[in-house]
Chain A
C-alpha cells in the first residue's frame, strides 16, 4: 500500500536523515499513515505545506526539486510560496540556527553578505542587528530553525537584501502578537522588543505564524538611492 510516509520517505531518502524524516512524519500525525489515494485535497494541502517548510529547512540543496517530486507523488500542486522559494533558491545563503553560538555566526555572515552586495556600512550594521534579533528569537522560542539571505533587486534595479527567518517552533499566539505590536509584551529572557525593533529597521516586513507549525519572518533591506 502506498502511504504518504512510504512515498515521501522514498523521495527524501539520501537527502534528509531518517531521524529528521521521523520528526516530519510525526508532525503530519495520522496523515502520514494514510494511503495516498485516499487523501482529500485539503489533506494534500496540509501535507504539502508541512513538507515544503520542512524540506526547505532541512534539505541543504535541491529543496525545490524535492518539493516538486513530493507534490507529484501526492498528486498535489506545490503552493505558490513553495514554487517561488524553489525558483529563488540557488542564490540564497542558508544559515542553520540551532544554538546560541549560531547567532554570532549568522550576524557575521549577514554583515559580509550586505557589504558584498553593495549596501552601505551603516545599512550593513542594521542588517547584522536585524539578523541577530531574528536568530535570537529562533534560539529562544523555537529551539532551531534557519535564516536565509538572498540578494534581490527592486524594480529600479537597486540592490537589496532579503532575510527570511524560518522555524518550526510553537508559533506566536495571536493575542501575544497583538501585545508585541502594541509594545506591552514582556518576555522572560529578552525585552519583548526584538520583533518590533526589526520591523522598525527594515524596509519591508512580513510575518507568518501558525500555532504548532512555526513562524516565518521575511524582511528586505534596500540600498540607498
Chain B
C-alpha cells in the first residue's frame, strides 16, 4: 500500500498557506478542498494562499480545481490567492482561453500577504 498522500496546510497568523509541490490528481484535489474548508472554519482564516510556483503545467482540469477551491473558500467568507504562476503557464492559459476567475492572483507570497492585509484594515 502506498503511503496516503496529503498536501500540508500551514497557518500564518490568519492566513492558510498551501504549497502545491505534487501532481494534483482527482482524489488529492478533493481532499485538499475539503481539508482547506475545514481549516478555514476552525481557524477563522481570512485568506487562503495557494502557491503553484512548483507546478509546471496547468491544464483546464487543474484550472477548474483551482477555481472550485477559490469559490468554496469565498463561500466561507475568506479570500483565495494563487501565487507564483509561471510565465509560460500564464501564456498557455491565455491561449487556451481558460479563465482563472474565481481566485485572486499575486506574483509572490509576500505580495499576496500584503494584499490580504490591506483587505483586513
Contact = CB atoms under 8 A, between A and B. Distances in A.
Contacts of A104: 23, 25
A191 B97 contact: no
Contacts of B61: 132-133, 136, 190-191, 194
B115 interface: no
B60 A122 contact: no
Contacts of A194: 59-61
Contacts of B23: 101, 104
A200 B91 CA distance: 12
A101 B5 CA distance: 14
B64 A107 contact: no
A104 B97 CA distance: 22
A107 B58 CA distance: 11
B92 A133 contact: no
A200 B59 CA distance: 13
- Most chain A CB within a 10 A radius of its CB, from B95, B96, B97: B96
Contact of B96 (A107, A129, A136, A189): A129
Given A126-B92, A200-B96, A133 B59 contact: yes
Contact of B91 (A111, A122, A132, A191): A122
A115 interface: no
Interface string B62-90: 01100000000000000000000011110
Interface in A149-204: 189-191, 193-194, 196-198, 200-201
B54 interface: no
Interface string B95-109: 111100000000000
Contact of A126 (B87, B95, B97, B98): B95
Interface residues of B, number: 21
Contacts of B26: 100, 189
A129 B58 contact: yes
B22 to A, nearest CB: 10
A203 to B, nearest CB: 12
B59 A129 contact: yes
B88 A191 contact: no
Nearest to A196: B97
A121 interface: yes
Nearest to A192: B60
B64 A200 contact: no
A128 B23 CA distance: 14
Contacts of B89: 125
Interface string B22-36: 010110000000000
A178 B92 CA distance: 24
A103 B57 CA distance: 12
B96 A201 contact: yes
Interface of A: 100-101, 103-104, 107, 111, 121-122, 125-126, 128-129, 132-133, 136, 189-191, 193-194, 196-198, 200-201
Interface of B: 23, 25-26, 56-61, 63-64, 86-89, 91-92, 95-98
Nearest 7 pairs between A and B by C-beta? A197-B96, A125-B88, A132-B59, A128-B57, A191-B64, A193-B60, A122-B88
10 contacts: A103-B25, A111-B56, A132-B59, A133-B59, A189-B26, A190-B64, A193-B97, A194-B59, A196-B97, A201-B92
